A and B are shown apart, each in its own frame.
Chain A
Amino acid sequence: MFEPVLTSFVREPNSFTLDVSLTHGAYEGLRKAVTLQPGQVIDLVKASGLRGRGGAGFPTGMKWGFVPKDSPKPKYVCCNADESEPGTFKDHVLMERNPHLVIEGVAIACYAIGAKVGYIYIRGEFHHVSQVLEAAIAEARARGFLGRNIFGSGFDCDIHVHRGAGAYEAGEESALLESLEGKRAQPRLRPPFPAVVGLYGCPTVINNVETLANVPLILTKGSEWFTSLGPEKNSGPKLFCVSGHVNTPGVYEATMHTTLRQLIYDYAGGMRGGRALKAVIPGGSSTPVLLPDAIDAPASFDGVVKAGSMLGSAAMIVMDDTTCMVWAAENLIHFYRHESCGKCTPCREGADWMLKILHKIERGEGEMRDLDLLESVARNINGKTLCPFGEAEVAPVLSTLAHFRHEYEAHIREGRCPLPAPWRCGGGH
């Protein structure tokens, strides 16, 4: 039976304080790291098979290895705490209840790549979380876990919290750097990649909160322990967010052996009111919806791809049979239209057109040829944009069109939404 390690003590009172965290072994990973060579730390992380928890699942050790060792420039670590992907709230819990684990992870990453400063870029709405983090950093600094000459090793490291101000796109790594530099959160053209030219033009590693929180555990428990959890190439503990029409929505820690079905029916208490499952978005709003027949897939990076979607940020949005899928697609495209940074035309204009067409269909004013138009707009965004936001915003449209075309057609035939759920407002607005 798997015992949570990332969230093992988050329900304890005052779990966010240094004193409570120390009773659970906080900063032991950092203590061990500074006795090793930076290259050895990177090798350990490589051997663990840790893959990024921010969405793309890129191997973390490899990413750290791209940082040039001989660069005369300062280097930086940025912890991506933007957490704005609809359905995602795992970093929220980690930072709020176990901030020292995150801080320790950032410090070890700094040591491994040779950085002296780390920034935690947190979304502006998490005001209360940024206060928890600031307080935790101050405590760590006061007790010598941050600052100069950590554990007498000669390693100096400081960490700062930087608060965003309401922009989903700031979670995209190069847009995050722009935002940190005091500009609009709009992505940069790559290459060069941030590992070589990142923050202030210096080599920079950007990792998700949960990714970095795993690093101290790899140091204390070893990379074999890490690979022993979960399927091959999908190692380690994982946080899953389950929300929507389930009985007990929340963050659940498990291995990636766990299936989507177990997450919905065992961890999240099953469907609310015992209703039937209609569709599930497995990895945040940017990933294609899956039908109930796909939920026996393991919730791993590779398992969910095989099932026809992506693990993304491991954020499951569960919908029961009262949900109109055209309405759901419209809701998400409203999000993407609002959040498109506007830098490239297919994404900016395409989002607007997709919303317009979806709105028209949902209102009951659609025509059959709107479906082809919708699909053609989506296909003209896909693969033609500066950042992966483009692929993200077409996922809800193309996947609902593929699985629920009959629902779109019913809207058009009947001239109204055939499924106006009681939890919605009468008529779209």
Chain B
Amino acid sequence: MTFHPKMPYDTGLHQSARQLPEAGEPFAFTPENLARLEDIARRYPPERRRSALLPALYLVQRQQGYVSARAMAHVAEVVGVTPAEVEDVVSYYTMFYAQRVGTYVLQVCRTLSCALNGAERITDVLSRKLGIKPGETDPTGTFTLMEVECLGACDRAPVVVVNDQWHECLKPEDAERLVDDLRTKGLDALSGCHLCVEKR
């Protein structure tokens, strides 16, 4: 490949940054979560306990909201791998947070079908309303804004996921109201997934 003399090599997209995980508070699974983890580990052959690593990390995140370095060390011990192997996995998957996040993690789908329906504007509105850029958490620790890639519900574009719950067909003009509603009603403000609504 020939390098382009006018390309800005020094700035922008090309650098990858390794963000070290936060050390966090001392961490151990609650007895309930430990029991849950052992239940899950039984789904795999006994000598393949490592398969329970992703489920274990979900349990950490449920317990303390993110996956701290201390939690990684604990998980390593419980699952039987090294802390480095745990960090390796945490840093690969986008759904594990190695830094503290807000109470509500707003994940706006930015991929084509959603973008064709106004997703860029939604991120813009949310970003202004919250005074933060994508990837940041507001100073009160209530909201984290993120852009994510296709969520597999492109017929309901634009899609936003808040924590584990869905909000679909969000119009840019309704994005501000969603923030207000989350503040007052919590996760009940969300539409849910289109086909699941009958259960609500």
Contact = CB atoms under 8 A, between A and B. Distances in A.
* A interface: dominant SS: mixed
Nearest to B12: A356
Contact of A89 (B14, B55, B57, B154): B154
A224 interface: no
A317 B1 CA distance: 32
A270 to B, nearest CB: 15
A373 B111 contact: no
Contacts of B89: 182-184
A387 to B, nearest CB: 16
Nearest to A168: B149
B136 to A, nearest CB: 14
B45 to A, nearest CB: 7
Interface string A19-33: 000000000000000
A423 B116 contact: yes
A160 B110 contact: no
A251 interface: yes
A87 interface: yes
Contacts of A119: 43
B176 interface: no
Contact of B95 (A165, A334, A335): A165
Interface residues of B, number: 60
A167 B94 contact: yes
A367 B7 CA distance: 11
Interface in B1-22: 1-2, 4, 6-7, 12-14
B117 A89 contact: no
Interface string B79-109: 1010001001100111110000000000000
B51 interface: yes
Given A127-B164, A179-B54, A423-B121, A92 B149 contact: no
Interface stretch (A59-67, A103-111, A210-218, A239-247): A239-247
A97 B157 contact: no
A138 B137 CA distance: 39
Contact of B166 (A128, A323, A331, A423): A128
Interface string A410-429: 00000000000001110001
Contacts of B150: 84-88, 285, 335
A243 B155 contact: yes
Interface string B122-145: 011000000000000000000000
A335 B114 CA distance: 13
B118 interface: yes
Given A165-B94, A376-B2, A380-B1, A243 B113 contact: yes
A139 interface: no
A352 B13 contact: yes
Contacts of B38: none
A248 to B, nearest CB: 9
22 contacts: A10-B195, A84-B149, A85-B150, A86-B149, A86-B150, A88-B152, A128-B193, A165-B54, A166-B94, A183-B85, A183-B89, A251-B155, A317-B154, A331-B111, A331-B115, A332-B111, A335-B149, A356-B7, A423-B121, A424-B115, A424-B120, A425-B123
**Top 6 closest A-B pairs, CB basis?**
A182-B53, A166-B94, A165-B93, A182-B50, A166-B95, A243-B154
Interface of B: 1-2, 4, 6-7, 12-14, 43, 45, 48, 50-55, 57-58, 79, 81, 85, 88-89, 92-96, 110-113, 115-118, 120-121, 123-124, 148-157, 161, 164-166, 192-193, 195-196, 198
